[in-house]
Chain A
Amino acid sequence: MMDWLSLSPQEWEAVAISIKVAFWGTLASLPIGIALAFLLSRKQFPGRALLDALVHLPLVLPPVVTGYILLIVMGRKGLVGQFLADHFGIVFSFRWTGAALAAAIMGLPLMVRAIRLSFDAIHRRHEEAATTLGASPIMVFLTISLPLAWPGIMAGAILCFAKALGEFGATITFVSAIPGETETISAAIYAALQTPGGETNVMRLALVSIAISFAALLAAQAMTRKNRSRQGGL
């Protein structure tokens, strides 16, 4: 009776690829996101406004354009892509790693925004106090700024993960939708919609997608609550 709810092997594959792509995309962009957020929150330097705009660009560009730029730059014949392929054997185009890269770039603006707000909110006074206690700038960052910004970092990571999970335009432009390699839930839903009689497949995948997103949000809330109670007076 509930048979229509069980996923086919290919659908399971799409779910697994989506989670893999979103997870690695988020993990890889986390250090970059933290560094960019800290830079934009704390440092004054020439070109700061330009960097800020560049980070936010994927938020306003049509995703297809972002995917196209990735294709030109990171593709097999691309400026950077060719270099990486020739010297390090790293290939992005038409691989799941490329999907992760596209997801990371699409999620980065959201991640940087959340983390940056968190760095903005940390009182400099704690960093000053740590300095007078003998902490070098790098130790201040590692032992004070980073832990105090943790809720924002987690929120940023979850936002990036959620965005990555739903990414479609840039991914399909850059790495297409190859079943078993780059076909994510979104791409599978789109493909099923094009197929006559595919409505139940669409329904199943949509439900799975809702469940994963909901679980991610609940996890984020739980983590923030835990952190807030631990930090007490802040």
Chain B
Amino acid sequence: MLSLTLERDSHEGLFPIRIDLKTDAQIIALSGPSGAGKTSLLKMIAGLLTPDRGHLSVAGTVLFDSEKRISLPAWQRRIGFVFQDNRLFPHLSVKNNLAYGRFMNGLGHDPFHEAHVITMLDIEKLLARDIGELSGGEQQRVAIGRALLTKPQLLLLDEPMSSLDANRKREIQPYLLRLAAEGVPMIYVSHNADEIAELAGFVVSVEHGIART
């Protein structure tokens, strides 16, 4: 169960944004024209942008509540974020990019989970490489893997498949569906109507920074 109401006034040249969501759906799609504020909404949920008012709880844990003055910093939220521009760390190898979240969260080694994610994304042969040597699609797969390996309690995906070919998409989609079924909710930004239809249980349209259900 995902419950959130977050609102942010106009700051630093960004227009005001607002999202209101209460749903049992495990995969929620945000759709809308580019520049509508979808990425800003995701950042606000992740804690990278601070809301002025609202409430956010994931699986019963309160992450933000303006009335109770609760605001967990982004790094303690365990919210995975797959950015549209992948944002892999250029000074670390693929292997260390993947291990970064586990290390920072003090998680133990989970060889089964790691092997599964690595196989599913077909990035095993990339592990020793530098980020600069990867193609766009490879980078995006590593970025998805990096977010998954932190075992997030909520996964935010900002057009994660835009640089993947159709075959790879077909392989990743079922994994995302299964992950959702296992209890990791996702908020998913996409322009692609087919993708949304196949994945999302709940669609929110975003216009001028306002998310409407």
Cβ distance B123 to chain A, nearest Cβ, rounded Å: 16
* Complex: A125 Cα to B89 Cα, angstroms: 10
Indicate if the CB atoms of B75 and A131 lie closer than 8 Å: yes
Q: Which residues of chain A come closer than 8 Å to B51, judged between CB atoms?
A: none
Q: Which of A133, A137, A139, A144 has the most CB of B within 10 A?
A: A133
For window 167-198 of B, CB contacts with A under 8 Å fall at: none
**Contact with B87, one of A125, A134, A143, A231 (Cβ below 8 angstroms):** A125
User: Quick check: is B17 within 8 A (CB to CB) of the other chain?
Assistant: no
Indicate if the CB atoms of A131 and B91 lie closer than 8 Å: no
Given contacts A133-B146, A134-B105, contact A231 B91 (CB under 8 A): yes
Q: Which residues of chain A come closer than 8 Å to B43, judged between CB atoms?
A: 128
Q: Which residues of chain B come closer than 8 Å to A230, judged between CB atoms?
A: 91, 130
* Complex: A132 Cα to B42 Cα, angstroms: 12
Indicate if the CB atoms of B74 and A131 lie closer than 8 Å: yes
User: Quick check: is B211 within 8 A (CB to CB) of the other chain?
Assistant: no
Instruction: Count A/B pairs, Cβ under 8 Å.
Output: 79
Indicate if the CB atoms of B79 and A232 lie closer than 8 Å: no
- Contact count band on B: 20 to 34
User: Quick check: is A234 within 8 A (CB to CB) of the other chain?
Assistant: yes
Given contacts A125-B85, A232-B133, A233-B131, contact A133 B90 (CB under 8 A): no
- Contact count band on A: 20 to 34
For window 124-168 of A, CB contacts with B under 8 Å fall at: 125-126, 128-137, 139-140, 143-144, 147-148, 150
Which residue on chain A has the smallest CB distance to residue B149?
A133
Indicate if the CB atoms of B87 and A129 lie closer than 8 Å: yes
For window 94-130 of B, CB contacts with A under 8 Å fall at: 100-101, 104-105, 130
**Contact with B46, one of A132, A139, A231 (Cβ below 8 angstroms):** A132
Given contacts A126-B89, A129-B83, A230-B130, contact A134 B48 (CB under 8 A): no
Which residue on chain B has the smallest CB distance to residue A140?
B75
Shortest Cβ-Cβ A-B pairs, 7 listed: A232-B132, A233-B132, A133-B101, A129-B87, A134-B104, A132-B81, A134-B105
Chain A residues close to B by CB (< 8 Å): 125-126, 128-137, 139-140, 143-144, 147-148, 150, 230-234
User: What are some 9 contacts across the A-B interface (CB < 8 A)?
Assistant: A128-B43, A130-B104, A131-B73, A132-B80, A132-B147, A134-B104, A136-B75, A140-B75, A230-B91
